[in-house]
């Protein structure tokens, strides 16, 4: 089909509907949401079904209209306590779990409806939604973090909330805020990078947006579930200081600054205790120290792996056992049968356990409305436009030799792409609708000068002025992804390099890979997984209509062997990449029939340690401390214009009870309007403990017109200079000299000022 040179976004979408879009990929076995080779059909006309039978509590035929719990004017505390006082033992036990996989139990006798849930963070996985309908496939959490734009993150959360309301979802099973400790982690596309400050800031804005429409988040996966390797039977061993400075930081931020009303605990153990029964961290740190008041949901398999640990559930302040409480229920009933006098004590503990569930759903208005608001469907058009906006700011220009980008329309372009990855697989998979592919958008932008091929054709390559090569790396939940993949596609790229000198590589991935090919190409764009609207933003950036402004939220390593823990998944001296939940029955002792590569080395009920021996030196902190070569640094991202940093100044001396103000000037010295992310790092000259060479402590994204200059300001408090003292079990700020470093990445520092504390 011939396309006109210039089409509107709506016309491009219509063309994609008529022509169909090949979005296949070979996905993991046993994943019900595999990305399959298929044509995306027209689905915009499909409206969500009406979700019937869910009444607001005040209108439910079974509710007690004069009771406090049915009165929206009463406080959430009063309503929750009143409801608990009316529950039977069996009803209290039922309120610890679901009535189906993605529906939390209600109390029919008292007119309390079930609460609906759905995956995930970047759209709704419709397999988990009760009604027929479609959800917008937005960019993933990694590309959202690549924008470094907190306003976008907040709007992203609000957009997700509106999707939830349109499709009848009360609780969103996201966002994912685990740390990108391993570049090979299968779920990196669901997370926000390797830095706790960046992750905490983006997640806080996202949750603020989500909760502004009264959708309950469940930030996941608390805590140390930073790799998919045998996640149900692994034990993340993390020391106190590292927990505090790296892994707990985002959770503290979302609770204190966003008032997050829900979390999901991981399937893993943390320092020998299952995350789902971890009283020291859930009850003592999250609730007592950070002030968390909301629901604590288990991940969907955790309750089934440790039947002998059920006595730890009640004191842990875990509130919701998903998808069922059968193991816990069996233990509780057995304990009561042994000693009936303990039933009253257990009942009081159950009341404590379910209180946060009821309190949360009263506070968020869940029980006072129907799950679904069909008027929200009208906002989906805006959601599509917003998806494009996020993708535009998420694309990262990694390399631009000889200014090969942008590409003028007069040049002949060959686009080599066998498929387009727009999402990962697993619970984060969102199919979307009305996709605007890279191919379709580039075709519409360049018209007759554009040619597409799935694989290399020598004649086509010779005729092209520029070759754009799409390099995919599929990933997803249940298993990690070997660094060396995609082997065959990388070989094809090496072949192409021998045939042409003007090559631009698109990296559709959320994991790094070998880059011996880098010196042979002139341009590289990091796309990650950009969702259904991916094509139009890419076409705008490649054509120069828009300057790229994304920055990497992780370090692009040269070799995975240089990472802090390259043997994290070794079993019997070899890496074990298989994942999912397939080992469950063997591990529980129910069968001997399983993979010999696993059973020859792992006994039933044996927990495998994952040691975080790098401590606080994770991500760029590790590579800088060890002086290891990398490909691209954390925070890296080029522009089509040039920025000049000047006039950095702050106080020369400062005390811990003050706020230090930092100012600098940022100028756009080029001819193109663009955005720049100003990154502020702190370096401690001398400390009583080993500290990273530098750490990100603030950032701002600034838009500048050509020749425009703006003053950029930051405010820092004692927290920016502190570290965790294991001896004092608290944050400590030591006097001495510190550097304020302003950069365009963690390694490209443009301004520096030293001051005394």
- Tokens 């919701």, residue located: 320
Per-residue model confidence (pLDDT) at position 750: 98
| Nearest alpha-carbon partner for 561 in 238, 237, 234, 184 | 184
Per-residue model confidence (pLDDT) at position 608: 97
Residues of the chain with pLDDT under 70: 1-48
Neighbours of 619 (CB within 10 A): 27
Per-residue model confidence (pLDDT) at position 146: 99
Length of the chain: 757
Per-residue model confidence (pLDDT) at position 16: 36
List the beta strands (DSSP E) in 204-254.
216-217, 219-222, 234-237
Six token digits for residue 410: 């007069």
CA distance 260 to 248: 14
By CB atoms closer than 10 A (0-12, 13-18, 19+), residue 604 is: middle
By CB atoms closer than 10 A (0-12, 13-18, 19+), residue 45 is: exposed
CA distance 243 to 485: 31
pLDDT tens digits, one per residue of 199-225:
999 999 999 999 999 999 999 999 999
pLDDT tens digits, one per residue of 641-700:
999 999 999 977 777 778 999 999 999 999 999 999 999 999 999 999 999 999 999 999
Per-residue model confidence (pLDDT) at position 330: 96
Q: What is the pTM of this model?
A: 0.94
pLDDT tens digits, one per residue of 426-451:
999 999 999 999 999 999 999 999 99
The reply to whether omega before 120 is within 30° of 0 (cis) is yes
Per-residue model confidence (pLDDT) at position 574: 96
Domains belonging to the chain, first-starting first, are: 9-44+390-555 (3.40.50.1700), 641-756 (2.60.40.10)
pLDDT tens digits, one per residue of 244-293:
999 999 999 999 999 999 999 999 999 999 999 999 999 999 999 999 99
Which residues are within 8 A (CB) of 728 and not within 5 positions of it... i.e. 6 or more apart?
Answer: none
Per-residue model confidence (pLDDT) at position 48: 65
């Amino acid at each position: 089909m011939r396309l006109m040179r210039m089409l509107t976004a709506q016309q491009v979408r219509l063309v994609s509907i008529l022509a169909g879009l090949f979005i296949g990929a070979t996905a993991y076995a046993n994943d019900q949401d595999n990305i399959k080779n298929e044509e995306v059909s027209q689905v915009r006309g499909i409206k969500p079904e009406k979700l019937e039978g869910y009444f607001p509590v005040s209108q439910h035929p079974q509710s007690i209209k004069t009771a406090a719990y049915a009165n929206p004017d009463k406080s959430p505390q009063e309503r929750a306590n009143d409801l608990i006082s009316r529950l039977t033992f069996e009803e209290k036990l039922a309120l610890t779990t679901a009535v189906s996989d993605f529906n939390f139990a209600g109390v029919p006798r008292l007119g309390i409806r079930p609460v609906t849930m759905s995956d995930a963070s970047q759209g709704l996985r419709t397999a988990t939604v009760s009604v027929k309908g479609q959800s917008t496939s937005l960019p993933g959490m990694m590309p959202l973090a690549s924008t470094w734009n907190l306003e976008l993150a907040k709007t992203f959360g609000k957009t997700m909330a509106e999707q939830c309301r349109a499709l009848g979802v009360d609780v969103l099973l996201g966002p994912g805020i685990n740390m990108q400790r391993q570049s090979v982690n299968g779920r990196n596309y669901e997370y926000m990078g390797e830095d706790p400050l960046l992750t905490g800031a983006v997640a806080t804005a996202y949750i603020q947006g989500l909760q502004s429409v009264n959708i309950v988040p469940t930030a996941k996966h608390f805590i140390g579930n930073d790799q998919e390797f045998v996640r149900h039977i692994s034990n993340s061993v993390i020391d106190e200081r590292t927990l505090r400075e790296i892994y707990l930081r985002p959770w503290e931020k979302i609770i204190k600054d966003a008032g997050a009303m829900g979390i999901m605990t991981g399937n893993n153990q943390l320092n020998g205790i299952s995350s789902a029964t971890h009283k020291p961290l859930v009850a003592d740190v999250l609730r007592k120290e950070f002030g968390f008041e909301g629901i604590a949901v288990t991940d969907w398999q955790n309750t089934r792996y440790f039947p002998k640990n059920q006595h730890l559930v009640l004191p842990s302040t875990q509130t919701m056992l998903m998808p069922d409480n059968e193991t816990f229920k069996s233990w509780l009933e057995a304990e009561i049968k042994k000693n009936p006098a303990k039933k009253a004590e257990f009942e009081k503990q159950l009341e404590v356990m379910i209180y946060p569930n009821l309190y949360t759903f009263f506070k968020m208005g869940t029980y006072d409305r129907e799950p679904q608001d069909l008027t929200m469907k009208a906002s989906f058009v805006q959601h599509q436009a917003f998806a494009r906006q996020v993708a535009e700011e998420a694309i990262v220009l990694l390399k631009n030799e000889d200014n090969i980008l942008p590409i003028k329309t007069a040049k002949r372009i060959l686009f080599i792409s066998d498929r387009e990855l727009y999402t990962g697989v697993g619970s984060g998979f969102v199919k979307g609708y009305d996709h605007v592919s890279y191919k379709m958008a580039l075709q519409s932008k360049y018209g007759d000068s554009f040619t597409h091929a799935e694989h290399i054709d020598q004649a086509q390559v010779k005729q092209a002025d520029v070759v754009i090569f799409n390099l995919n790396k599929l990933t997803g939940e249940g298993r990690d992804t070997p660094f060396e993949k995609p082997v065959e596609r990388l070989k094809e790229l090496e072949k192409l390099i021998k045939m042409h000198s003007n090559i631009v590589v698109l990296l559709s991935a959320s994991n790094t890979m070998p880059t011996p090919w880098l010196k042979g190409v002139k341009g590289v764009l990091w796309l990650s997984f950009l969702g259904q609207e991916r094509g139009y933003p890419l076409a705008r950036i490649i054509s120069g209509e828009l300057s790229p402004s994304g920055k990497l939220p992780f370090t692009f390593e040269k070799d995975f062997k240089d990472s802090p823990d390259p043997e994290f998944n070794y079993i019997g001296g070899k890496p074990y990449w298989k994942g999912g939940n397939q080992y469950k029955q063997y591990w529980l002792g129910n069968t001997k029939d399983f993979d010999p590569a696993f059973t020859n080395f792992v006994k039933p009920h044996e927990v495998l340690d994952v040691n975080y021996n790098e401590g606080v030196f994770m991500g760029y902190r590790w590579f800088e401390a060890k002086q290891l070569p990398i490909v691209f640094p954390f925070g890296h991202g080029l522009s089509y214009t040039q920025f000049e940093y000047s006039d950095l100044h702050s106080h020369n001396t400062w005390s811990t009870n003050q706020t230090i103000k930092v100012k600098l000037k940022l100028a756009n010295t080029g001819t193109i309007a663009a955005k720049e992310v100003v990154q502020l790092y702190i370096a401690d000259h001398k400390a009583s403990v080993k500290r990273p060479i530098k750490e990100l402590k603030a950032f701002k994204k600034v838009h500048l017109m050509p020749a425009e200059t703006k003053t950029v300001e930051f405010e820092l408090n004692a927290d920016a200079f502190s570290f965790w003292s294991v001896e004092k079990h608290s944050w400590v700020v030591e006097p001495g000299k510190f550097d304020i470093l302003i950069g365009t990445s963690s390694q490209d520092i443009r301004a520096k000022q030293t001051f005394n504390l």
